[in-house]
Structure 1
Amino acid sequence: MAETRGIILAGGLSSRMGGGDKALLPLAGRPMIGHVIARLAPQTGPLAISANGDPARFLPLGLPVLPDTVPGFPGPLAGVLAGLDWAAGHGADQLLTAAADSPFLPHDLAARLAGAGRFALAASPDQTGVQRLHPTFGLWPVDLREALRRALAGGSRRVARWALDHGAVTVAFATVPFDPFFNVNTPADLALAETMAART
């Protein structure tokens, strides 16, 4: 049986939020990333956080913090690579990824992705019914990490393009009562998330 570890991608620069650590902003009485941990932890093995800078700011969460191993803040793919290396070092076969700014992620994310194959990304329909990919929510095979390392060294930055080029399938999730992949980018989004949290 495949062993899976999980990583929460929290390495963004939060420019639309005015900088700082978006993941640590308070939402419904706890840091936003706390909601992600609460939903993700029951679905997978041990969790880690992908983030750069001083790891001490995440110390109260009790999870290991993995910095990028690729210079220049190349984006989420570098966080995925750090997670894949960490998972491989502990003998895991797969890595479940999630974004730190999406506090309402599905409770069945891991099960649904694993049911679709060894490499899968989440998707959900937009307001017009068109499926929109959420590439930071995925199940990644650990044995792809060297290919990803080479791709990053060669300048690859687009998560979805790289994943789909390497055989990832997509899994559609329902958006009732709201899109579970709603992500908090702005102060207005955070206010909306407070309303959503009160409903859940």
Structure 2
Amino acid sequence: MRMRISDCTGVILAGGLNSRMNGTNKALLDVGGVSVIQRTMSLFDEMFGKVLVVSNTPQDLLELDVKIVSDIFPERCSLAGIHSALFHADTPWIFVAPCDNPFLSREMVELVLSHRTEGATIVVPETEKGLEPLCAAYSRENLKLAETRLAEGRYKIQSLFRNKRTRKVPEANIRRIDPDLRTFFNINTPEDYQWALAMLAQDGVV
């Protein structure tokens, strides 16, 4: 059994409005007999000593055996979720993932974390479509900056990124592990859900 990563907390952001899923909570969609969020939780339980879920509707997730925290700032945005995770984490780093992605792998998490270098406070994958801030690692050194950005009304995660402090994972490295870049696919619509199930069935998961 591989050792857990002790200096990083696995964080799942579950604060979306589910507006394109007709009100269905995306985190609880069934994939291979478990919910999407449980799938990511199982991965994080194996990899990290500590796991957090950030949700503004914790009552929907009470069956999960995990610590659930809510946003401190009232703005419904991913940056508020990251801020809350940085506030509640007691490890130097957090690794952030969304609740609606069934394709995240241990290899991808390890790839991102392997790019941490001295002086870097964020490690984020980059593809031809841009940066992927919801499959990224954030140092707790970003806590104060995240608080400042939210107070200023700057709600994009990218407002945290600073050239000398942000390390990017190149697409070529990512494609060695995930040739089709499925890692960054999110279930936003019923059609997305059916596509994800088809891909998982193709992989022998469902």
Quickly name the TM-score band, shorter chain normalised: 0.7 to 0.9
The aligned residue for residue 21 of structure 1 is 25
Query: Would you say how many aligned residue pairs link Structure 1 and Structure 2?
Result: 190
Matched, 1:84 2:86: yes
1:139 shift after superposition: 0.7
Matched, 1:148 2:150: no
SS of residue in 1 equivalent to 2:124: strand
1:177 shift after superposition: 5.0
Rounded Cα–Cα distance in structure 2 between residues aligned with 1:177 and 1:136: 17
1:116 shift after superposition: 1.4
Structure 2 vs 1, CA of residues 136 and 177 (structure 1 numbering), >3 Å: closer, same or farther? Answer: closer
The aligned residue for residue 10 of structure 2 is 6
| Contact 2:6–2:48 (CA under 8 A) maintained in structure 1 | no
The aligned residue for residue 198 of structure 2 is 195
The aligned residue for residue 113 of structure 1 is 112
Deviation string for 1:133-187 (max 9, x for gaps)? 2111111011220111011111111113433467222213114255222111100
Aligned amino acid, residue 32 of structure 2: A
The aligned residue for residue 49 of structure 2 is 45
Rounded Cα–Cα distance in structure 2 between residues aligned with 1:194 and 1:2: 33
Question: TM-score under structure 2 normalisation?
Answer: 0.84
1:138 corresponds to which of 120, 136, 139: 136
Aligned amino acid, residue 63 of structure 2: P
Tell me, which stretches of 5 or more residues in structure 1 are unaligned? 125-129
Rounded Cα–Cα distance in structure 2 between residues aligned with 1:106 and 1:170: 18
Aligned amino acid, residue 22 of structure 1: K
| Contact 1:4–1:44 (CA under 8 A) maintained in structure 2 | yes
Runs of 4+ off more than 3 Å: none
SS of residue in 2 equivalent to 1:45: strand
Rounded Cα–Cα distance in structure 2 between residues aligned with 1:15 and 1:95: 27
| Contact 2:142–2:160 (CA under 8 A) maintained in structure 1 | no
The aligned residue for residue 162 of structure 1 is 160
